[in-house]
Amino acid sequence: MIIQENIPLAPFTTLHIGGPARFFAEARSENEVLEAVEFAKASALPLFVLGGGSNLLIADSGWPGIVLRVATSGLNSGVSGSAALFHVGAGHEWDAFVAHAVSENCAGIECLSGIPGSVGGTPVQNVGAYGQEVANTIESIRALDTKENRMLTLSNADCGFRYRSSIFNTTERGRFIILGVNYRLQRGGPPSLKYADLQRYFADAQIPPALAAVREVVRQIRRSKGMLLVEGDPDSRSAGSFFKNPVLTKHELETLVGRAEARGLKIPAYPALEAQHKVSAAWLVEHSGFSKGFRMGDAAISTKHALALVNTGGARASDIVELKDAIQQRVQSEWGVTLEPEPVLVGFQ
């Protein structure tokens, strides 16, 4: 494995932002992952594991240690009754896997079409969209335990999945390096139509839509919101949704509804969110004075989606953080709700 020095990280991210890595390595096998970890330990260097670069903001100063890009790929499948089992390498492109699963008529991740990044990143934040999340399909994970220096298998229950979180970004952050993920999908299963836009699109359908049709519509929706990576589209130069939909207590939700009603406004109701007292972060942003297209220097809000912070061409990480802070402070002041960032912030103090 080749270890390089002073490699710019911006080209590896969808925001196209980030300073250099002091050391950089790309691992295409489990042994190379282990080799990189041993190098970091022997050199007393901090280690950061880079996947598809779609859900992170890297500091302008870069990373002072070693950045390990996990490129373990491969896709194998098998059948167990009505279930289809897929073992996918962490470095495999996520949307390519979704496309393959749909082509095999396997349901469970069709609504996660068009999400950029790699397979290994999906368990970390329990990636979800349009009524589905990967926690519902992950059976187990192959990982390197850097604390005990051994390869092991983690079950779904071991991962501690919650809304946009897992042990990988909370209690055990930095301990495990994901090498591959095992998914259990339903062969011949129906598509998920929990999302309101999907329900409206297929409202007049005489028969349930095919998985491929749902995948295509999801990709169209994502593109309309600037959430699909499209060459030449400035709105796709982002890290996707920058804020999580807040999960409130019943009392907090009632207080928020009361504040809205006092202003003659109504909190939008989304069936996919209501069960957990989740509210739309996009609605909170837009009703705090930050409209689509709002710009602060070279950092801006997408013209297509209020949750996407974009690099208009010359933005630095500090510009994105300044805009992020302004939005969080205003939403807290106006609505008493704390917005939590969804991307990983790397290299910041």
State the CB neighbour count (10 A cutoff) for residue 70: 29
In sign, the C-alpha dihedral spanning 244, 250, 255, 261 is positive
Q: Which of 165, 166, 241, 302 is catalytic?
A: 241
SS3 labels along the chain = CCEEEEEECHHHCCCCCCCEEEEEEEECCHHHHHHHHHHHHHCCCCEEEECCCCCEEECCCCEEEEEEEECCCCEEEEEECCEEEEEEECCCEHHHHHHHHHHCCEECCHHHCCCCCEHHHCCCCCCEECCEEHHHCEEEEEEEECCCCEEEEEECHHHCCECCECHHHCCCCCCEEEEEEEEEEEECCCCCCCCHHHHHHCCCCCCCCCHHHHHHHHHHHHHHCCCCCCCCCHHHCEEEECECCCECCHHHHHHHHHHHHHCCCCCCCCHHHHCCCECCHHHHHHCCCCCCCCEECCEEECCCCCCEEEECCCCCHHHHHHHHHHHHHHHHHHHCCCCCECCEEECCC
Catalytic annotation present for 103? no
Q: Which of 69, 142, 164, 237 is catalytic?
A: 164
Catalytic annotation present for 261? no
Catalytic annotation present for 164? yes
Catalytic residues: 164, 241, 342
